[in-house]
Structure 1
């Protein structure tokens, strides 16, 4: 089960990173791709904190 979760989260991270690096445009900077990557990273960190605090067995 843990390998499945790590695989899914890793896949989401890779897709977000690919989207962030693919958004190269001319003109003013477009931060839409990197913003999604940052939000994904923050969500993973907060999700791990909630898991570690409430659901992890001692």
Structure 2
């Protein structure tokens, strides 16, 4: 279990530390900046939290 947790934590850390995903795209003309990188990062973090919740609730043997 600790190896799986270490793998998940390292994956989360690499996503959080990659600044290219969190930076907004440069605005073009009069349009506001595109925050699609930040949105993808948020959805990834929320998905990881939900996946851990499903694992903890249904799949973990105690």
Q: Figure out how many residues of one structure are paired with residues of the other and give that number.
A: 55
Structure 2: runs of 5 or more not aligned: none
> With structure 1 as the length reference, what TM-score do the two structures score?
0.71
Aligned Cα root-mean-square deviation (Å): 1.7
Structure ranking higher in helix proportion: 1
- Of the two structures, which has the highest relative contact order with CA contacts closer than 8 Å and spacing of 6 or more? 1
Structure 1 outlier segments of 4+, above 4 Å: none
> With structure 2 as the length reference, what TM-score do the two structures score?
0.68
Match of 1:43 among 42, 47, 59: 47
Larger Rg: 2
